[in-house]
Amino acid sequence: MSKVPEWFIQELRQKVDIVEVVSEYVQLRRSGRSYSGLCPFHNERTPSFSVSSDRGMYHCFGCGAGGTVINFVMDIEGVSFPEAVIALAERAGMAIPEGLGTGTTQPNTKQQRHREAHDLAAQLYGYILMNMSAGVQALSYLEKRGITRKTIVEFRLGFAPNSQDVVVSALRRRGFQDDELVSSGLAVEMGSRIVDRFRGRIMIPICDKKGEVVGFGGRTMLPDGKPKYLNSPENEVFHKSKLLYNFHVARKAIRQQRTAILLEGYMDVISLAQVGISSGVASLGTSLTEEQASMLKADCDRVIIAYDGDSAGRKAAVRAIDLLQGAGIEPVVLSIPDGLDPDEYVRSNGGEAFTRLLARRTLSVVQYLLDELRQKANLVSPVGRTDFVRAALQLLAERATPVEQEYELRNLSQEFNLSVETLKEELRTFSKQHKRHREQSVQRAARTAVAQPLERAVSRASIGLLKAVLLDEMAAMYVMEKGLTELAEPLQTALLAQLYAWRLANPTSNPSSFVDELDDEPLVQLASSLFFGETPEFSKDLLDDYVRTVERHHLEAEYRALLHQWIEVEASGDGKRAREIKLQVEQIQGQIATLKLPREQNAEG
């Protein structure tokens, strides 16, 4: 982001009306000083999407999407930060600064240096594959797999030769230091020198949501090479759990169809895209994560899981089902014949056959999990058959709709020669057990809710402090002088630290410029929410109340932990240690008493 001059971004915000831009995608209605509409990033019936023309911000209180007009264009079009800036500048008739988007200006952060290094490495790998004798064998391999040169260029595929320092030498010439190359994951230390991490591998660039290369997947060219795929190591810009391969390209199709195809491998994604199926993404060779499920939730309501049919793929599919349902997404599972993976099926049968497969061979969650039970069951043995039926009924009680229950009960009745009524009676038993477990969970949640008023108070105080630091220069200075560094939640604490640093460096900057500087999506979403809702006058008394509320929250958490520890130590008979902890408990009680708000003290009087 720092490649775009700040003065240009400020001028751009002044000339581009966020309401006009958003209105091209969302039907907005005036709501007080803001505008509201149905969020374009998730499926909803009641408007929870707000746009503020005065502040140049948008935020969805349903899915959390939010940011400036630049963020909106990036998310809705699936483009990078510079691309969004260029598009908005052209819209406003502004002259684009020389070098914008070309990478000719020097990045000034470690993360940007990593991205720059990866982009240059991708260019080098691509050139070697397509233009040098060292890449002939790899190019021939890809073409034999049916990957066209057009697809190779679109996905920026490349080749890392066996030489130990091709990338290291090239990037050194571009001004990169050895420690930068090692920390970025492009090089590894070997004794007293550094060498290329990737050697003798077909290189597959992995991009973030903005389309910037942040890592690589390298496929070995050796038949027995280990590992088959080598990914970049985790670092500041490359987190496998938070990335989906091809998401930056597939996002537009996913949003239009409200459906994504979740695949296991890079080549699956590439093969489907080549035959016109553009909504495929992959989870970088690992099981789906909560962060990846949340990424998908913002753009789709349904995910077709198309993993490999082996035991590892089926196990990963079961885990993906639970994560997707937990994120509020409907999962279905594609059953591919003959144990083929999607890439193999497309190469053998073509794209049209795979499209027909998507229409005819997708299983509901219940159907797929019943099939999983069947594959593990010993249906030859009478005991095995009974165990399978009971497990199937328990599954139906916990997961199936009434229609699915009726359908599957008839299937079980015919297969095992049992009456439907007998099966229904057994199903009722499992349903009662499941209902009892649910009721116990609700009761536990109700007990937890007793503490919610205090939690709401500290949450309001934390949000109030964040708003004060972001929106009011004088209030920001006052809060920083208080020395508060921790809020109610880790994400709020992380944003507060970023706000402090930004305020010190940019005391008079427009608050929206802070949002444009954030790289982490959850932080962007939290920051954008601060521009909406009531913003009080930040008096010293109000800020003092906020600080006291937060500090008391942390002290009370410490008090509860020590109290629990005191009880345990006293029960163990360690009198000396118990007295020490009791003294700590009393000290914290005193500290809590001094942090009472004025209205509480008046109430006691």
Q: What is the pLDDT of residues 205-250, one digit of tens each?
A: 999 887 899 999 999 998 888 889 999 999 988 988 889 999 999 9
Kindly state whether residue 251 falls inside one of the protein's structural domains. yes
Same domain, 491 and 594: yes
85 and 164 part of one domain: no
State the CB neighbour count (10 A cutoff) for residue 391: 17
Encoded tokens for 201: 């591998």
Between residues 361 and 553, which one has the greater pLDDT? 361
Q: Which of 126-130, 267-271, 418-422, 521-525 has the lowest mean pLDDT?
A: 521-525
Q: What is the pLDDT of residues 487-496, one digit of tens each?
A: 988 899 999 9
Residue ranges in 361-401 assigned as alpha helix (H): 365-376, 382-399
In terms of domains, do 279 and 405 share one? no
Domain end marker among 238, 257, 284: 238
In a domain, 593, yes or no: yes
C-alpha span between 329 and 494 (Å, rounded): 28
Domain count, the chain: 5
Predicted confidence band at 603 (pLDDT cuts at 50, 70, 90)? very low
State the Cα–Cα distance between residues 38 and 50, nearest whole angstrom.
Answer: 9
Nearest to 404 by CA among 377, 444, 364, 373: 364
* Whether the model pTM is above 0.85: no
pLDDT at 570: 75
Residue 198 near residue 230 (C-beta atoms within 8 A): yes
Length of the chain as a residue count: 605
Q: Which residue among 410, 435, 460 closes a domain?
A: 435
Give the CA distances from residue 558 to residues 21, 485, 565, 584, in Å, rounded to whole numbers and listed in that order. Answer: 48, 16, 11, 10
From 49, 65, 92, give the residue that closes a domain: 92
Q: Are residues 396 and 516 in the same domain?
A: no
> 253 and 231: one domain?
no
Q: What count of other Cβ atoms lies within 10 Å of the Cβ of residue 399?
A: 17
Query: What pLDDT is recorded for position 286?
Result: 66
Supply the CATH number for residue 185's domain: 3.90.980.10
543/539 Cα distance (integer angstroms): 6
Tell me if residue 235 falls in helix, strand or coil.
coil
What is the share, in percent, of the chain residues with pLDDT greater than 90? 44
C-beta neighbour count of 492 within 10 angstroms: 20
**What is the CATH number for 75?**
3.90.580.10
In a domain, 441, yes or no: no
| pLDDT exceeds 50 at position 605 | no
pLDDT in the model for residue 348: 92
Residue 442: inside a domain, yes or no? no
Whether residue 195 contacts residue 188, with contact meaning beta carbons closer than 8 Å, is answered with yes
445 has pLDDT over 50 = no
Amino acid 204: pLDDT:
97
Check residues 88 and 256 and name the one with the higher pLDDT.
88
Whether the pLDDT of residue 107 is over 50: the answer is no
Q: Which residue has the tokens 């939730």?
A: 297
Crossing angle of helices 6-15 and 69-77, rounded to 10°: 90
The mean-pLDDT minimum among 433-442, 477-486, 505-514 falls in 433-442
* 339 and 419, same domain (yes or no): no
Cα–Cα distance for residue pair 420/211, rounded to 1 Å: 55
If asked whether residues 459 and 561 sit together in one domain, one would say yes
- Please, which pLDDT band fits residue 385 given cuts at 50, 70 and 90? very high
3-state secondary structure 113-178: HHHHHHHHHHHHHHHHHHHCHHHHHHHHHHHHCCCCHHHHHHCCCEEECCCCCHHHHHHHHCCCCH
pLDDT tops 80 at residue 453: no
Q: Taking 90 as the threshold, does the pLDDT of residue 44 lie above it?
A: no
The overall longest dimension of the chain from CA atoms, in Å, is 88
What is the CB-side half-sphere exposure of residue 3 using CA atoms within 13 A?
A: 25
% of the chain at pLDDT higher than 70: 92
pLDDT band at 601 (very low <50, low <70, confident <90, very high): very low
Question: How many whole angstroms separate alpha carbon 117 and alpha carbon 180?
Answer: 9
pLDDT at 438: 63
- Give the domain extent around 348: 242-363
> Do 132 and 184 fall within a single domain?
yes
Q: In the predicted model, is pLDDT for residue 523 greater than 60?
A: yes
pLDDT band at 285 (very low <50, low <70, confident <90, very high): low
pLDDT at 325 over 50: yes
427 and 324 together in one domain: no
* Alpha-helical segments (H) within 400-539: 402-416, 420-449, 452-471, 473-482, 490-505, 511-517, 521-529
- How high is the pLDDT of residue 209? 82
Shared domain for 175 and 273, answered yes or no, is: no
Supply the pLDDT for residue 573: 77
What confidence tens digit (pLDDT) does each residue in 534-558 have?
Answer: 888 889 989 988 888 888 887 887 7
How many helical (H) and strand (E) elements, i.e. helices and strands, does the chain have?
27, 16
Residue 53 has pLDDT above 80, yes or no: yes
Query: Distance between CA 532 and CA 64 in Å, rounded?
Result: 12
Mean residue pLDDT across the chain: 86
Determine the Cα angle at 82 with ends 78 and 86, to 5°. 95
The rounded distance, in Å, linking the Cα atoms of 332 and 404 is 14
Instruction: Classify residue 165: in a domain, yes or no.
Output: yes
Closest-CA residue to 126 (of 117, 141, 138): 138
Query: Above 50 in pLDDT, residue 447?
Result: no
Edge-to-edge order in the sheet of strand 49-52: 29-31, 34-37, 49-52, 57-60, 66-68
Same domain flag for 18 and 30: yes
Q: According to the model, what pLDDT value does residue 40 have?
A: 83
| Span 70-94, pLDDT tens digits | 999 988 877 778 888 888 998 888 8
Q: How many C-beta atoms surround the C-beta of residue 130 within 10 A?
A: 16
pLDDT bucket at 452, cuts 50 / 70 / 90: very low
Same domain for 317 and 409: no
Q: Is it the case that residue 596 has pLDDT exceeding 70? A: no
C-beta atoms surrounding 388 within 10 Å: 21
Tell me the average pLDDT across 519-528.
Answer: 87
